[in-house]
């Protein structure tokens, strides 16, 4: 199995040595073939050579360009909550990963945060769309991680870029982390720069300049991951106030652990000691023992993680320390009116959704 931390250093060009250089060369060769395949597939969809499916209700897609976490789950929740507030019956459609038959960790988080919104998961999202409409009588569908899933047509494409790593080392997978080239953002209805509060204005402006150069002017939204509350395995909540006075340790197994670390640092006023596991990490008994030892070594009063991680662990304590997850909500810093207007236009174009 590839060490993901090592791989990340390699593709970003910061891992020294001849082995890393050879790896970059080999990955670059493979990425050429991957890029050609992506281009051919997109061209086939653009020219209608590949069949697509049009649902009978509006479809709103939330996606991204890169591998790893960009904040799609908070964005999906944001969209679904606003649709529910309009009195609409909503369903979320996602592919999942790894061949799992049950909901994955993101799906479980959404199910907990949105108990009145059904979440359908499977490889054939066209079939899921038909099921949601015909059996659940859904009036709007939210396609999770849907930018590359072009078989199911959508009425709105919301594409997220992570301000901490917007362009995935600037290269196509596997030499970089781009799932498709930046010019694909021409398909985006709205571009959302997530974690925009964690970089300065000049960095945000440079990201937008690059996007405009590659894809033209796009409606532009700045958003942040706003801490909402602390929740434990029993769904008991704890306020955020007072965290600065406690000894905090943290861990996560997500696509962007740096984003979680920075969010915590802003919340408690310092960098907490933190362990990072691979994205979607399945925690074993030995992992839990390691985390208990970590809590003891750091003399933690409280251990914090993400909701994605907590739904897989389901324990209230790690050793002597209570375990809570930081619940995150998407907050628009600018461009909220553009986002709301885009959603409203989609709904207005489909009388069946009103």
For 55, list phi and psi in degrees, rounded to 5: -70, 160
Tell me what pLDDT residue 256 has. 85
Which residue, 142, 161, 162, 160, is CA-closest to 152? 142
**Based on the domain organization, do 234 and 163 belong to the same domain?**
no
Work out the burial of residue 88: count CB atoms within 10 Å of its CB; fewer than 13 is exposed, 13-18 middle, 19 or more buried: middle
Residue 52 lies in a domain: no
Residue 51 lies in a domain: no
Residue 54 lies in a domain: no
**Based on the domain organization, do 105 and 82 belong to the same domain?**
yes
**Based on the domain organization, do 71 and 215 belong to the same domain?**
yes
Tell me what pLDDT residue 66 has. 94
The SS3 call for residue 14 is coil
Q: Per-10-residue mean pLDDT for the chain, 354 residues long?
A: 78 91 95 97 96 97 90 94 96 76 80 94 94 97 96 97 94 95 97 96 98 96 95 92 93 91 93 92 95 96 96 93 96 96 84 41
Residues 6+ apart with CB under 8 A from 23: 10
**Based on the domain organization, do 81 and 199 belong to the same domain?**
yes
Query: 110-120: string of b/e by CB count within 10 Å (b at 16+)?
Result: beebbeebbbb
Tell me what pLDDT residue 350 has. 46
Would you give the DSSP letter of residue 170? G
- 90: Cα separation from own chain's centroid: 20
Asked if omega into 284 is within 30° of 0 (cis), the reply is no
**Based on the domain organization, do 251 and 311 belong to the same domain?**
yes
Residue 53 lies in a domain: no
**Based on the domain organization, do 102 and 205 belong to the same domain?**
yes
Tell me what pLDDT residue 354 has. 40
pLDDT digits (tens, 9 = 90+) for 25-34: 999 999 999 9
Q: What CATH number has the domain bearing residue 130?
A: 3.40.50.300
**Based on the domain organization, do 190 and 268 belong to the same domain?**
no
Tell me what pLDDT residue 69 has. 76
- Both tokens of 95, joined, read 């592919």
> Count of CB atoms within 10 A of residue 12's CB?
16
Q: What CATH number has the domain bearing residue 299?
A: 3.40.50
**Based on the domain organization, do 238 and 188 belong to the same domain?**
no
pTM: 0.91
**Based on the domain organization, do 320 and 344 belong to the same domain?**
no
**Based on the domain organization, do 182 and 285 belong to the same domain?**
no
Residue 289 lies in a domain: yes
pLDDT digits (tens, 9 = 90+) for 38-80: 999 999 999 999 999 999 999 999 999 998 778 899 999 999 9
**Based on the domain organization, do 214 and 311 belong to the same domain?**
no
* Run of H or E including 25: helix 18-46
Name the residue with tokens 């990340």.
8
Number of domains in the chain: 3
**Based on the domain organization, do 281 and 182 belong to the same domain?**
no
The domain in which residue 230 lies consists of: 226-329
Length of the chain: 354
Residue 85 lies in a domain: yes
Q: Are 166 and 194 in contact (CB under 8 A)?
A: no
Residue 159 lies in a domain: yes
């Amino acid at each position: 199995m590839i060490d993901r931390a090592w791989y990340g250093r390699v593709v970003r060009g910061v891992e020294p040595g001849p082995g890393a250089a050879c790896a970059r060369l080999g990955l670059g060769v493979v990425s050429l073939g991957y890029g050609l395949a992506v281009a051919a597939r997109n061209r086939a969809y653009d020219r209608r050579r590949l069949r697509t499916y049009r649902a009978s209700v509006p479809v709103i897609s939330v996606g991204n360009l890169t591998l790893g976490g960009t904040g799609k789950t908070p964005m999906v929740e944001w969209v679904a909550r606003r649709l529910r507030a309009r009195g609409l019956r909503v369903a979320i459609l996602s592919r999942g990963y790894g061949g799992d038959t049950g909901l994955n960790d993101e799906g479980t988080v959404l199910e907990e945060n949105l108990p009145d919104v059904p979440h359908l998961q499977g490889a054939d999202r066209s079939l899921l769309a038909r099921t949601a409409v015909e059996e659940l009588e859904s009036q709007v569908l939210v396609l999770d991680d849907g930018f590359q899933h072009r078989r199911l047509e959508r009425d709105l494409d919301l594409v997220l870029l992570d301000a901490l790593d917007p362009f995935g080392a600037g290269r196509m997978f596997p030499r970089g982390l781009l799932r498709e080239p930046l010019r694909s953002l021409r398909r985006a209805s709205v571009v959302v720069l997530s974690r925009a509060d964690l970089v300065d204005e000049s960095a945000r402006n440079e990201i937008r300049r690059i996007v405009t150069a590659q894809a033209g002017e796009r409606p532009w939204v700045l958003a942040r991951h706003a801490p909402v509350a602390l929740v434990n395995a029993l769904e008991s909540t704890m306020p955020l106030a007072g965290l600065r006075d406690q000894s905090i340790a943290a861990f996560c197994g997500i696509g962007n652990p740096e984003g979680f670390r920075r969010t915590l640092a802003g919340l408690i006023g310092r960098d907490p000691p933190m362990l990072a596991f691979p994205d979607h990490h399945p925690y074993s008994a030995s992992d839990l023992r390691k985390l208990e030892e970590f809590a003891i070594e750091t003399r933690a009063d409280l251990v914090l993680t993400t909701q994605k991680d907590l739904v897989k662990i389901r324990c209230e304590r790690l050793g002597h320390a209570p375990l809570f997850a930081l619940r995150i909500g998407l907050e628009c810093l600018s461009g909220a009116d553009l986002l709301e207007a885009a959603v409203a236009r989609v709904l207005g174009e489909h009388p069946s959704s009103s």
